[in-house]
Structure 1
């Protein structure tokens, strides 16, 4: 059984064929999904999806793109929303300097708030970083020095040095369909030495469809293509990587219960 550790099932891209998308996932061997919150003002819709399906969990948080436009949240706000059994982590949060839809200072402040909430409840934080390696790492190191926390770098596309350092700090790395792209050799090189027990897979659906579906809407079923490519990069069988990545997920997201 595979786990799609990061998808956005509340997005309108799935409104017309939601049940079929779930059926496709089951047929592809994807037994568990995590639908990720990006707007705290839409948290209830995200939670509703998780509540309706035994094999779907969710998070609560504010994407760095939305850090300025969403209401400012406190650690208390986040931990209260995360009290539901179906909420297994915080985020996605982090830094995005590629688009900079929100001021950097606002992104940084919200990132730290999410980390504090994650530490408070002992849940993982889902970290988004794009064109912001140095500042992301600085905040992670600063917060780890205060008190350790758990989490993952979602949709990893950073450098090998960054990968090595975050693993050293105790975080996990989640790989998306980007790893299948022809021009993604740098990414494949970056994860080649990441220990198998620190790797997860995701779709980030509806975005970033892996080959052979690139250019089309992504969906949880396609996690299988990403897992196959990561297994190839790591030099292990698909079966071994599937088992390992699933075990990794349930170790990191301990609040999620195996079906």
Structure 2
């Protein structure tokens, strides 16, 4: 699906994504969101998601308070699940309290509705935490994910080679146990992730006009290794770019990805649901 200049046919993909109707059965889910940052009532966010065909959400922690919030929301709402971790940008701030902080994350991870350890990983775009500190925390989160049998939800920004290298230290990985949240690599990285069996979760930025490399990665990624997410309240997909994001907006990204990959929408939703069940165990 390319235009004469070699780029992905963006207008057609966007048109396919803008349908107002709810996703067809079996619908979709938001694989990564931050409802605590959105700041709106959870029941309203979930009702809007259900109306769009978004059946479940995974609310993701970035530090101890947001991880606790995620666990609490998951306990209260049947279709809300949680991920817990210290975000790489937060690791420097808590480095001196590493052992008690990790103990708290480990205790939260025992909750049956905590389905992933994340978001963890490496962020070399910002300089909030030294690279070696981030890597130490990343390895600690990996070891927790392996010990608990939970999926590992990775934040990878400008750190592809180091992330892949550290993951390789712990190979082999069980199928569907590693998720690249808000996948940011190119087609070659998508091939490498697919070869290793890593799941790639695409957010609303795949719909942005300047994201041709990201769209090529989504085309290369096998449908059975794809997820869709919002990373709300950030990265709102077209046609609502610039407005606050919410789990319901995952429907636009799902429609966009289905058209991009030339898949029937209901069939693509079935792929997503099957992959979600494999990754998150719900």
* Residue number in structure 1 paired with 2:52: 28
2:85 aligned partner: 61
The answer for unaligned runs of 5 or more in structure 2 is 1-26
Match of residue 10, structure 1, among 30, 36, 57: 36
- Alignment length (residue pairs): 252
Correspondent of 2:138 among 96, 111, 117: 111
Indicate if the aligned counterparts of 1:97 and 1:131 stay in contact, CA closer than 8 A.
yes
Distance, in Å, in 1 between the alignment partners of 2:138 and 2:155 is: 10
Tell me: CA distance 1:77–1:170, structure 2 relative to 1, closer, same or farther (3 Å): farther
Shift of 1:168: 1.3
Whether 2:270 is the aligned partner of 1:246: answer no
Partner of 1:45: 69
Q: Which has the larger radius of gyration?
A: 2
SS at match of 2:220: coil
| Structure 2: distance between partners of 1:121 and 1:44 | 18
Tell me if the contact between 2:186 and 2:216 (Cα under 8 Å) persists in the aligned partners. Answer: no
Q: Which deviates the most, 31-40 or 44-53?
A: 44-53
SS at match of 1:33: strand
1:164: which partner in 2?
A: 191
SS at match of 1:89: strand
**How far off is 1:77 after superposition?**
4.6
Q: Distance in 2 between matches of 1:78 and 1:37?
A: 10
For 1:233 and 1:161, locate their aligned partners in 2 and report how far apart those are by CA, in whole Å. 18
Secondary structure at the counterpart of residue 276 of structure 2: helix
TM-score normalised over the length of structure 2: 0.85
Q: Which has the higher contact order (CA 8 A, sep 6+)?
A: 2
What is the match of residue 183 of structure 1? 210
TM-score, scaled relative to structure 1? 0.92
How far off its partner does 1:78 sit?
3.5
Matches within 5 A, 1:57-136: 57-70=81-94, 71-73=97-99, 77-136=104-163
- What secondary structure is seen at the aligned counterpart in 2 of 1:72? helix
Report the RMSD for the aligned CA atoms in angstroms: 1.6
Q: Do 2:73 and 2:80's aligned partners in 1 also have CA atoms closer than 8 Å?
A: yes
Counterpart Cα distance in 2 of 1:217 and 1:224: 15
C-alpha separation in 2, matches of 1:238 and 1:185 = 21
Correspondences of 1:131-210 after superposition (within 5 Å): 131-144=158-171, 150-210=177-237
